[in-house]
Structure 1
Amino acid sequence: MPYNIAMFCDFFFPQPGGVESHIYQLSSKLIDRGHKVVIVTHAYAGRTGVRYLTNGLKVYHVPFFVIYRETSFPTVFSFFPIFRNIVIREQIEIVHGHGSLSSFCLEAILHARTMGLRTVFTDHSLFGFADAASILTNKLLKFILSDVDHVICVSHTCKENTVLRASLDPLMVSVIPNAVVAENFRPLSYTSRDPHHRSAPGPPQPLGPHDTITIVVISRLFYNKGTDLLIAAIPRILATHPNVRFIIAGSGPKAIDLEQTIERNVLQDRVSLLGPVRHEEVRDVMVQGQIYLHPSLTEAFGTVIVEAASCGLYVVCTRVGGIPEVLPSHMTEFAKPEEDDIVEATGRAIAKLREGKVRTELFHNQVKQMYSWTDVAQRTERVYDGISGVLSHDDFYQGAGAGGGWSATRGRAGIQSFALIERLKRYYGCGIWAGKLFCLCVIVDYLLYVLLEIFAPRSHIDIARNWPQKDLKAEKEKDMDSSKDGSGIGRKRSSRHRREK
């Protein structure tokens, strides 16, 4: 069943990142499966208004004030008129928000429930419970997710974190991981290999003691990405291993500290700083190395390490968050998020490569079998079917062993009620004082919606024309017929050409 879907998030291209790539790839695959998808984000430098990307993917760049790390200023109610206009123009049925810190995402879910639309939230990050910022974020998330239809997390660790932060029923949270386009992250050896050659790669060639090993780091240079650990570890790694060099790509507030460390230790000839790189250039940077170092302090999934493994790099990463779930043990060398352990783990990885103990030439095909955006789109589509009532709660949660729990807490067939009194009951349970404040916000949002319906009627909003969709099934059958009759067609064309002569 095709759906009209709107993805809401502050984070999207041209800014690079895992969330941005996830939204684009998921949207593209959903369009391939016959759905209509639009993306709504804030305006970026040089990008405002409406843009069309590949495959007819429409992006709305809304001009909103950005306060920190590409996050728009939270206004709660002022976004509602624009939101309503877009939703009505595009005839949206499902609102899918991404990111706990995205104001567009959280406000869109609130307004969508007020308008009677189905909602899905995808969490891409991990947060703590002790500091003031996490407490406020978790309270806000609990408010928004009290009335969401379903939640998706990118790893099982992320699911546990989100369930605890927002006090959710675990049955309403699904785990759907990120993926990569493996064809875009091929090792160098694949560029010259015959695509029809199916013989297994030969045994690895050990690196000699004097051969140079390049360690690649591609990351935003922020504290949570472990940049401080990286800065402390680089001089020690290079001092211990004379035939090792670093290539570091990325930007952020910690870039100055990294540059100062390199200058202080006179490592300019062994550490290359590339600055920010575009996502389509990531593969070209990765294939220059043999090891990928990922010293993150917190990570829900870590798409970049999957991309690195697909490029044939041996991954050294910290054992934090959902990272241990991402790749099998033979592709990774784990370390504690400590300077000494990162130095030791990197040393072990260098030794294994020099001894030929790691079959990195096999990584690409293994990653290709593990992760697929088509599979992610199919599983997300199943979530849409579940919240729309196409699937019963028993079919949706087959194998979970607790379908009754879902139906008891979510109503018949597991579908949320849009009735205002039912919504207020859910918000009221968010806290002694916070519950009353949340109910007040919902009432104001509902009154604003009534006023908009009166003074800006739907009949005055033009319906946008849909991008013409390809009939993929018909094209596939046509291609198969052409391949079968290709030789005959060629003979007919050549004979006709001779007659014309």
Structure 2
Amino acid sequence: MACRGTAGDGHRASATPSRVSPGSLSTCRTHAHNICMVSDFFYPNMGGVESHIYQLSQCLIERGHKVIIVTHAYGNRKGIRYLTNGLKVYYLPLKVMYNQSTATTLFHSLPLLRYIFVRERVTIIHSHSSFSAMAHDALFHAKTMGLQTVFTDHSLFGFADVSSVLTNKLLTVSLCDTNHIICVSYTSKENTVLRAALNPEIVSVIPNAVDPTDFTPDPFRRHDSITIVVVSRLVYRKDILETKKSTKMKTKISGIDLLSGIIPELCQKYPDLNFIIGGEGPKRIILEEVRERYQLHDRVRLLGALEHKDVRDVLVQGHIFLNTSLTEAFCMAIVEAASCGLQIVSTRVGGIPEVLPEDLIILCEPSVKSLCEGLEKAVLQLKSGTLLAPENIHNIVKTFYTWRNVAERTEKVYDRVSMEAVLPMDKRLDRLISHCGPVTGYIFALLAVFSFLFLVFLRWMTPDSIIDVAVDATGPQGAWTNNYSHSKREGENSEISKTSLPGYLNCNCQCCTGRYVETHCSTLLLTLILK
């Protein structure tokens, strides 16, 4: 893990001004924030967004901020769970519509989210991913409640197909009155500014990061033969349109289609070359057909789905890492592979050229011919011994992207946002109508009015003043932390048991006497929320 600080160690972020590069963020004093990360994508689901949210949250907790995460339920994982350093995760009972994204009506989630925001005394809502309906819901409701909002865009989108047009229009509505937007690369920033018609001054670039201690090289585990490693989701989402000259028809191709053309060509040319492919998805059938057609069962290994903890053990077996993605805002996979000491060969798309220096990556056009040439160049360098040693590559990469640096830069965004005013309802309606067009603008302005009236009704039914304040995982006055003095804890335990404590602490389990958190307390808290 990138940040291993203790949640209750009393550490608070420094109040001294930090130097910021010109044109990025204004310098301001740092103070503790109550932050709610919202996204449909979080553990146990695996991916770059999930890892980003978890690691960023841990580092923000280390810097003295309170962080909670809100996502939807995954199977039996419902209610409230506590992760490392007291990171609280709400798994809400919302139905999944498609690809782990929840269905949305803008209103069904308001009672739950409002209760959580009030109970946790949230001051900043930080939503992640354009694909997440819950993230857009949280932004919409937070503005209705007068909370500060931040959005991180992790993906690139086109402008032509129907899916992109609809998503871009939704993004325009969500971001037109959002306080600040974060993108993971400069290419992603340009893409988001164009898609949502944003002022570039409210968009910052903060890259992803990798924990270098989790991705270390191990040359002794490499195979004797040249091994190319591919770790990817074998899906159809990342594709482009290709025009065939013979039929003049446009067909969609994906990165896996490119890989299926590369494998037989290189295996025929280099008898000592093998492939290791990790990942699962609907495009796996294409790779299985290629392996069967060319009888490459002993040279192409398909590992299937990989746990994140197993990725490093796969990477260190290879010499070259191949990335065939056709759209990437910031490819964490190539940073992880480089941290393990592999030479990178990748398509020149999206924000990938910004990620690594030229001596660590060979960039190719998104075609079978160009990628084969790039791989052959890497093979020749490997055979001639001109590639950098794995340990040297690791030492270079580990200084590029760290989660603590990402957290520090994100903290500056929170500081800037906390000093901004939230648009009142009349100005918010004007912004929606003027920014989103005459049709979409009036529709969502009407929805904003309905949302406000629904919020007024909820506040009448359950006023904010009677909603209990949630006790953090550190306990009352830090009573559940290791550095809390034993004598002080024993002296206050009797007072705690006699006092009417907020919410789920009004029970007799061991967690409420200052020892540790029990799971049934979390169940009680969820019951209160659902009421």
Range of TM-score over shorter length: 0.7 to 0.9
- Name the CA distance, whole Å, in 1 between partners of 2:264 and 2:217: 28
Deviation at 1:337, TM superposition (A): 0.7
Deviation at 1:190, TM superposition (A): 9.9
What SS does the corresponding residue of 1:216 show, helix, strand or coil? strand
- From 270, 273, 291, the equivalent of 2:302 is 273
Deviation at 1:189, TM superposition (A): 5.0
Deviations 1:289-332 (A, max 9, x none): 01100000000000110000000000110000000000001111
Q: Does 1:442 align with 2:455?
A: no
- From 118, 121, 125, the equivalent of 1:91 is 121
- Name the CA distance, whole Å, in 1 between partners of 2:403 and 2:55: 7
- From 427, 434, 449, the equivalent of 2:432 is 427
- From 345, 365, 383, the equivalent of 1:336 is 365
- Provide closer, same or farther for how the CA distance between residues 190 and 164 of structure 1 changes in structure 2, counting only shifts above 3 A: farther
- Corresponding position of 2:311: 282
Alpha carbons 2:177, 2:423 under 8 Å: kept: no
- Name the CA distance, whole Å, in 2 between partners of 1:388 and 1:360: 46
- Corresponding position of 1:21: 51
- From 387, 392, 403, the equivalent of 2:417 is 387
What SS does the corresponding residue of 2:156 show, helix, strand or coil? coil
Query: TM-score normalized by structure 2?
Result: 0.79
- Corresponding position of 2:218: 188
- Name the CA distance, whole Å, in 1 between partners of 2:128 and 2:220: 34
Deviations 1:59-81 (A, max 9, x none): 11112221222111122111111
- Corresponding position of 1:162: 192
- Percent identity reads 52
Q: Does 1:461 align with 2:467?
A: yes
Deviation at 1:146, TM superposition (A): 0.7
What SS does the corresponding residue of 1:359 show, helix, strand or coil? coil
- From 274, 280, 290, the equivalent of 1:251 is 280
| Number of residue equivalences | 431
Q: How does 1:94-243 map to 2 (within 5 A)?
A: 94-189=124-219, 211-223=224-236, 224=238, 226-243=255-272
- Name the CA distance, whole Å, in 1 between partners of 2:354 and 2:421: 31
What SS does the corresponding residue of 2:335 show, helix, strand or coil? helix
- Name the CA distance, whole Å, in 2 between partners of 1:67 and 1:256: 25
- Name the CA distance, whole Å, in 1 between partners of 2:325 and 2:151: 24
- Name the CA distance, whole Å, in 1 between partners of 2:320 and 2:211: 20
Q: Which amino acid aligns with 1:280?
A: K
- Corresponding position of 2:68: 38
Deviation at 1:456, TM superposition (A): 2.2
What SS does the corresponding residue of 2:265 show, helix, strand or coil? helix
- Corresponding position of 1:262: 291
- Name the CA distance, whole Å, in 2 between partners of 1:149 and 1:232: 46
- Corresponding position of 2:28: none
- Corresponding position of 1:351: 380
Query: TM-score normalized by structure 1?
Result: 0.84
Say which is worse superposed, 288-297 or 347-356, in terms of deviation. Answer: 347-356
- Corresponding position of 2:423: 418
Name stretches of at least 5 consecutive residues in structure 2 with no aligned partner.
1-30, 239-253, 484-531
Alpha carbons 1:217, 1:294 under 8 Å: kept: yes
Alpha carbons 1:249, 1:275 under 8 Å: kept: yes
What SS does the corresponding residue of 1:183 show, helix, strand or coil? coil
Alpha carbons 1:114, 1:418 under 8 Å: kept: no
Deviation at 1:30, TM superposition (A): 0.1
Name stretches of at least 5 consecutive residues in structure 1 with no aligned partner.
192-206, 390-414, 476-501
Alpha carbons 1:147, 1:416 under 8 Å: kept: no
- From 110, 115, 121, the equivalent of 1:80 is 110
- Corresponding position of 2:339: 310
Q: Which amino acid aligns with 1:367?
A: V
Alpha carbons 2:276, 2:302 under 8 Å: kept: yes
Give the number of the structure whose residues are more often helix, by fraction. Answer: 1
Deviation at 1:47, TM superposition (A): 1.2
Deviation at 1:416, TM superposition (A): 4.0
- Name the CA distance, whole Å, in 1 between partners of 2:131 and 2:275: 32
- Name the CA distance, whole Å, in 1 between partners of 2:44 and 2:396: 30
- From 396, 400, 405, the equivalent of 1:370 is 400
